[in-house]
Amino acid sequence: MKKNISILEKLPQIKQEITQEIAKVIIGQDEIIEKLLIALISNGHCLLEGVPGLAKTMMVSTMAKALSLKFSRIQFTPDLMPSDITGTDILAENKADGKRYFEYIKGPIFANVILADEINRTPPKTQAALLQAMQEYQVTAGNKTFELDRPFLVLATQNPIEQEGTYPLPEAQLDRFMFYLNIDYPTYEEEKKIVKNDTYAALNAVNAVIGTEEIVQIQEAVKEIPVSDHVLDFSVKIVRATRSQYKDSPEYIKKWVSWGAGPRASQYLVYAARSRAALNGRLTPSVDDVINVARIVLQHRIITSFSAEAENINSQKIITRIISDLS
């Protein structure tokens, strides 16, 4: 436990150094970067939504470099097959005796940080190839199961504009993502800096801050951070408040929500609150930590009704009201 406390005490400094390295390439987006770090040390995955040209790919690859993690980018297209992600058996020949055998060639999923680019452009069968890896950190091919290296983080992107030729992610797969992050346009001053910055030269200047072993140690240490009953109660109440099936649910929930978030959302709220507290130098999370991550944990887990759509009510507005009612 002393070792865990020691590494947690160093975490705010580590976070600052990582942020400084990423800032050599990525201008702005500090909040998004913090959320990615929270997901990483919480063993979670993220779905990023933003228009083209906002440096989503560059942000992820830069973060991987600053963390000494193996990075792999998979471009999802309509003709992508599951074996293009997980790997495939090929027929090989033993040069010594001439006998033939099947050899498994690992796919791009075997990395630490996976960028699943435009994940909604591939059919559900191929999207599902990620499910086992994201949940169980394993890949099964034929009758063999392969363990994935840790840490393992999937960052999937989707374009909110072009919906032609896309396949919406099934609810089961959406629920595998800890966070749903919206990447917005930079400010005027940030955009000026972006234009002046030589991105690829800056990428070469990025130095590794920590390695895989230290990240795994941090992940294990964060799991042991104590959480007060007050914070646990608040987390569970927020999630249960999204469900319209209960008799005592508020009328606006019954009217605006078809399906609410499941227990996994409660778990993710607490995991993320722990990680955010640790990154900011605190050894126990507060209600404010839960509130900070509630929107990005819950917004893709709430299915709104036709009434909500007619009144221009989205899941974010519902979450804001729930938090206001409970705070």
Are residue 26 and residue 55 in the same domain, yes or no?
Answer: yes
- The Cα–Cα gap between 236 and 226 comes to 16
Question: Which of 166, 194, 218 is the C-terminal boundary of a domain?
Answer: 218
Question: What values do phi and psi take at 196, rounded to 5?
Answer: -80, -25
**Alpha-helical segments (H) within the chain:** 2-23, 30-41, 56-66, 82-86, 124-127, 129-136, 171-174, 188-196, 199-204, 212-223, 229-240, 251-256, 263-279, 287-298, 306-310, 315-326
Question: What values do phi and psi take at 105, rounded to 5?
Answer: -100, 115
- The Cα–Cα gap between 309 and 323 comes to 21
> Long-range pairs for 84-92 at CB < 8 Å and ≥24 separation?
84/126, 85/109, 85/126, 85/129, 85/130, 86/129, 86/133, 86/139, 86/141, 87/139, 87/141, 88/141, 89/141, 89/142
DSSP string, 270-299: HHHHHHHHHHTT-SS--HHHHHHHHHHHHT
What confidence score (pLDDT) does residue 3 get? 54
Are residue 9 and residue 136 in the same domain, yes or no?
Answer: yes
**Counted domains in the chain:** 2
Are residue 49 and residue 132 in the same domain, yes or no?
Answer: yes
Whichever domain contains 72, its CATH number is 3.40.50.300
Taking the chain (327 residues) in runs of 10, the rounded mean pLDDT of each run is 71 91 86 93 91 83 91 89 85 76 84 90 82 83 83 87 69 87 88 80 81 91 93 94 86 90 94 95 93 94 90 92 90
Question: Which range of residues forms the domain containing residue 148?
Answer: 2-218
Check: CB of residue 307 under 8 Å from CB of residue 251. Answer: no
Are residue 187 and residue 238 in the same domain, yes or no?
Answer: no
CA atoms 35, 40, 45, 49: torsion sign: positive
Are residue 18 and residue 113 in the same domain, yes or no?
Answer: yes
Question: Which of 197, 218, 239 is the C-terminal boundary of a domain?
Answer: 218
Are residue 237 and residue 252 in the same domain, yes or no?
Answer: yes
Of the candidates 243, 297, 254, which has an alpha carbon nearest to the alpha carbon of residue 275?
297
Are residue 191 and residue 308 in the same domain, yes or no?
Answer: no
What confidence score (pLDDT) does residue 250 get? 86
In the 8-state DSSP scheme, what is residue 149?
P
Are residue 239 and residue 114 in the same domain, yes or no?
Answer: no
Are residue 210 and residue 230 in the same domain, yes or no?
Answer: no
CA distances from 239 to 96, 318, 319 (A): 61, 12, 9
Query: pTM of this prediction?
Result: 0.90
Question: Which of 218, 235, 259 is the C-terminal boundary of a domain?
Answer: 218
Are residue 158 and residue 253 in the same domain, yes or no?
Answer: no
- The amino acid present at 248, given as its one-letter code, is D
Q: Indicate the SS3 state at residue 70.
A: coil
Cβ within 8 Å of residue 309, ≥6 positions away: none
Are residue 121 and residue 186 in the same domain, yes or no?
Answer: yes
Check: CB of residue 237 under 8 Å from CB of residue 96. Answer: no
Are residue 175 and residue 64 in the same domain, yes or no?
Answer: yes
